[in-house]
Amino acid sequence: MQTAEIRRRWLDFFEQRGHTVVPSASLVSDDPSLMFTVAGMVPFVPYLSGLVPAPYPRATSVQKCIRTNDIEEVGKTPRHGTFFQMCGNFSFGDYFKEDAIRFAWELLTSSEADGGLGFDPEDLWVTVYEDDDEALALWKQHSTLPDERIQRLGKDTNYWSTGQPGPAGPCSEIFYDLGPEHGIDGGPATDDDRYVEIWNLVFMQYQITDVRSKTDFTIVGELPNKNIDTGMGLERVAFIKQGVQNMYEIDQVRPVLDRAAELAGKRYGANHEDDVRLRVIADHVRSGLMLIADGVTPSNEGRGYILRRLLRRVIRSMRLLGVEGATFPELFPVSRDAMSAAYPQVASDFDFISRAAYAEEKTFLRTLASGSQILDTAVDAAKQAGAEVPGDTAFLLHDTYGFPIELTLEIAEEAGVDVDRGVFATLMQEQRDRAKADAKAKKGQRADLSVYKELRGLGETAFVGYDELVHESRVLGIVVDGAPAPEAREGQIAEIVLAETSLWAESGGQDSDQGLIVGDGFEAEVLDVQKPVPGLIVHTVKVTVGTVALDARAETRVDADYRRGATQAHSGTHIVHAALREVLGPNAHQAGSYNKAGYLRLDFTHSDALSAETKSEIEEISNLAIRSDYEVVTREMPLEEAKALGAMALFGEKYGDRVRVVDIGGPWSRELCAGTHVSSSAEVGMISLVSESSVGSTNRRVESLVGIEAFRNFAAERTIVQQLTSGLKVPRAELVTKVQDLGAQLRAAEKKIAALEAEKLTQRVPELLAGAEELNGVRAVLGSLGAVGSADEVRALALQLRERLGSDPGVVVLAGESAGKPLVIAATTAAARDRGVRAGDLAKLGAGVLGGGGGGKPDLAQGGGSDVAKIGDALAEIRRSLAG
């Protein structure tokens, strides 16, 4: 039975029993605490927890999931996969244990001819929570299982909770017995791989608190509405129904494995290590295909980093199988064909998917060529010294060459050496801290989502700001310091929930509105507006006058100037997007955006940098569209109707059944968008494209100023031009030539100065050689040079000195100050290296004293730091090391 057929039978079965079929949510989770959708129940958490009223009493889905916490186990076990599909049926206060158990048994054991999955009851086992007598009785009532194949197990395996205070309950798991040839007798209680868990039924019936561990908490009572959350592993059922040994051999995965084996000239099943690599390739290619299909692109952060790691593990595995060239153009089409029956979008969007994947492979093959030499040198040095690969080398490979640390660890492990992960972790944390320091300061930490449960239960916050900038409403909720409060007093920062609002909440790339919330005796400045849960708009405010109380009448007042600038920028984003597609072609899809009053940022799918002429053309087309005064029309309609009209759905975005379509100039720009817009393109005023850069191997970014900010930018540049023409006494037409001439003169002068500085240093060779010392049989030249021009000059001097030392054991260590920072350079002769003296060790030692880091090859290395005053101490420490 094909995997897509199992999927279809699942959905049909539950739809016939009153369940609403819910399409799979994106792999990119809406939950801010999750990077990916990691389980089938994740999209339903707001309904299961009661945070948001469920739109249907019962539902079913086949949810796409990604888990990478066990990535090292992929390929080694029969059922560890990064991408998998979870079949689920859910009840939100509707049916409970009896129907959940009855449905599961019926679907599993009904014949294939009757629409079931056709499992033999003799092959099935069930576990229940040790105290759940009710579930045990229901299994006896609705199944044909004998008592010995219904086992009671403890909280560690058969009790579900989130690990936090909230809903929890016992669960019942269904297992398939692979047979005695696969392991020992005794059922799932043995925890033997012979028994494969295929379905878990969670009975969400209790409220827990004081959670001390997974198995230690306090049950405070039953939930008012008991819920059902189940999950059947589609891949696990597929490999059983298809009679294969593991999930990598099912119809959706095996074709990639076979193609990889063919490319490598290998036979699957002939060699264990090769088999593991082939399974890794098959799994990761499918995961990469599905992640890119949901809008994730390779990068060095977050989800993009996970995708990059998966793709690079594929490349690494293919190289270990002996294939060093590009293989993605062979593997990804095979995965597309295997998955498109269940997910047609992987075929329709394959142009985008393939370009993202192929570009990543091309980039990483170059990375391997350059980074591997550095890593191989570091690994060889570590093996010779019986030491670890330095953590700063691992960080350099990650930060500069794009080597995931996991890949560095794998290569080092294969060579039998460790990596200094402590130093690597420190450097990574320093980088993260710098990134956090650059983040927007205004985004404060929000309350726990459970605080909004009752507020969301009062209904959806109505946004009326398309037509009104001022609107009177009522205060439904106040949150202060993460907890509900009856009021917020002057000077406090609070979160305010209103029945309706005219203030835009940040979404769709558009930043939140600025404005005020005012009422009888109070006034509050709006700092931020967000949607922490679907349907609920929360205003973060600073109360500047009086006290805001629950149920008070409140008027939202949008800052009209800010909104005007924001609508200009958002419509400007659509215009720039259309201009990009007109110039670069239809493959230039928007891949992300951010806009606020006076500014827009647009990421788009394109591999190559834009030339000055292309940027100028895009800017001109954008401003011609503004001058044409195109009408901007917004309409609401069903999603399918909008797509039929040709409205662009942005890649990776999520849309409901009804959508808002924004036309600028009719079909010239037609996109799905909920943001606020101008009424005609002329209102945008002006677009000034100020920046174009790379944000990944397949994405570029343009930044533009809009409206009055664009005018101010042109005015500022005009002033600069006037100052330059006046100061240099040339007409504007000759300004560029004049500046180029001055630049050439400056470079020539700098080159002459550098030559003089180098000559000056060379004159010190006799003096430095005269001061050479004999340290433990090694002739050592240790010198402090004072202020120097550059590290290159010091390196050239060190090489001259090393050459003068001849073939005897010798070492040169020079330190100096360049651009206000200390540096140290070490060089060794071959005879010194034979005695175990390595330049990299000496540079690292000296740099450590200087407050920095260093390293390099055994014959020549460099380090730096921050404390110039410790140059003497650094040389003294190196002297002690050599003497010892």
Domain residue spans of the chain: 3-248, 252-437, 449-558, 563-715, 764-883
Write down the mean pLDDT value for the chain.
90
Strand, coil or helix: 23: coil
Q: Which two tokens stand for residue 739?
A: 């500046």
Cross-strand pairs, 828: 811
Tokens 């949008």 belong to 558
User: Helix, strand, coil proportions of the chain in percent (round to 5)?
Assistant: 45, 25, 30
Q: Find, among 369, 417, 381, the residue nearest to 857 by Cα.
A: 381
Alpha helices in 731-856 (DSSP H): 735-762, 765-770, 791-804, 830-834, 839-849
Residue 284: predicted pLDDT: 97
Q: How many CA atoms lie within 13 A of 711 on its CB side?
A: 6
Question: CA torsion, points 178, 180, 182, 185, in degrees to nearest 10?
Answer: 100
Q: Which two tokens stand for residue 264?
A: 């490598």
Provide the annotated binding site for Zn(2+): 570, 574, 673, 677
Strand, coil or helix: 511: coil
| Helices 350-385/391-401 angle, 10° precision | 160
List the beta strands (DSSP E) in 399-469: 462-463
**Taking a C-beta distance cutoff of 8 angstroms, is the pair 197, 125 a contact?**
no
User: What residues have CB less than 8 Å from 696, skipping those under 6 apart?
Assistant: 297, 298, 299, 304
Q: Which two tokens stand for residue 498?
A: 């209103």
Return the ∠ at Cα 318 (arms to 313 and 322), rounded to 5°: 145
Q: From CA 167, how far away is CA 209, in angstroms rounded?
A: 9
Which residues of the chain are under the pLDDT cut of 50?
439-445
**Is 327 exposed, middle or buried, given 0-12, 13-18 or 19+ CB atoms closer than 10 A?**
buried
Look up the CATH number of domain 3-248: 3.30.930.10
What residue type is 468 in one-letter code?
E
Angstrom CA distances, 852 to 785, 794, 868, 872, stand at 19, 18, 11, 15
563-715 fold:
Threonyl-tRNA Synthetase; Chain A, domain 2 (3.30.980)
Exposure string over 209-236, b if 16+ CB within 10 A, otherwise e: eebeeeeebeeeeebebbbbbbbbbbbb
Tokens 């005794």 belong to 186
**Taking a C-beta distance cutoff of 8 angstroms, is the pair 203, 131 a contact?**
no
**Is 492 exposed, middle or buried, given 0-12, 13-18 or 19+ CB atoms closer than 10 A?**
middle
What kind and span of H or E run contains 607? none
List the beta strands (DSSP E) in 391-485: 462-463, 470-480, 483-484
Diameter of the chain measured on Cα atoms: 100
**Is 13 exposed, middle or buried, given 0-12, 13-18 or 19+ CB atoms closer than 10 A?**
buried
Strand, coil or helix: 863: strand
Residue 178: alpha-carbon gap to chain centroid: 38
Strand, coil or helix: 119: coil
**Is 484 exposed, middle or buried, given 0-12, 13-18 or 19+ CB atoms closer than 10 A?**
middle
**Taking a C-beta distance cutoff of 8 angstroms, is the pair 376, 414 a contact?**
no
Question: CA torsion, points 688, 689, 690, 693, in degrees to nearest 10?
Answer: 170
Question: CA torsion, points 579, 580, 583, 587, in degrees to nearest 10?
Answer: -130
pTM of this prediction exceeds 0.85: no
Q: How far apart are the first and last CA of the chain?
A: 72
Q: From CA 702, how far away is CA 600, in angstroms rounded?
A: 8
**Taking a C-beta distance cutoff of 8 angstroms, is the pair 300, 402 a contact?**
yes
Number of residues that make up the chain: 884
**Taking a C-beta distance cutoff of 8 angstroms, is the pair 123, 176 a contact?**
yes
Task: Please state which CATH class domain 449-558 belongs to.
Answer: mainly beta
Q: How many CA atoms lie within 13 A of 186 on its CB side?
A: 7
Residue 443: predicted pLDDT: 42
Q: From CA 577, how far away is CA 618, in angstroms rounded?
A: 9
What residue type is 737 in one-letter code?
T
DSSP at 596: E
Phi first, then psi: what are they for 523, rounded to 5°? Answer: -150, 140
Q: Which two tokens stand for residue 546?
A: 């009086």
Q: From CA 841, how far away is CA 854, in angstroms rounded?
A: 9
DSSP at 719: H
**The domain defined by 764-883 carries CATH number 3.30.365.10:** no
Q: From CA 130, how far away is CA 444, in angstroms rounded?
A: 44
Q: From CA 254, how far away is CA 155, in angstroms rounded?
A: 37
User: What residues have CB less than 8 Å from 666, skipping those under 6 apart?
Assistant: 630
Q: From CA 451, how far away is CA 455, in angstroms rounded?
A: 8
Strand, coil or helix: 592: strand
Provide the annotated binding site: 570, 574, 673, 677
Q: From CA 250, how far away is CA 267, in angstroms rounded?
A: 17
What residue type is 699 in one-letter code?
N
Return the ∠ at Cα 724 (arms to 722 and 727), rounded to 5°: 105
Indicate if the alpha-carbon torsion angle 856, 858, 862, 868 is positive or negative: positive
Residue 440: predicted pLDDT: 42
Q: Name all contacts of 610-616 with Cβ < 8 Å and 24+ positions apart.
A: 610/692, 610/700, 610/702, 614/583, 614/584, 615/689, 615/692, 615/702
**Taking a C-beta distance cutoff of 8 angstroms, is the pair 389, 418 a contact?**
yes
Phi first, then psi: what are they for 802, rounded to 5°? Answer: -60, -40
Angstrom CA distances, 611 to 249, 584, 607, 608, 617, stand at 47, 12, 13, 9, 10
Exposure string over 655-694, b if 16+ CB within 10 A, otherwise e: eeeebbbbbbbeebbbbbbbbbbbebbebbbbbbbbebee
Alpha helices in 153-253 (DSSP H): 155-158, 234-241
Q: Which two tokens stand for residue 58?
A: 């019962």
Question: CA torsion, points 72, 74, 79, 85, in degrees to nearest 10?
Answer: 110
**Taking a C-beta distance cutoff of 8 angstroms, is the pair 857, 840 a contact?**
yes
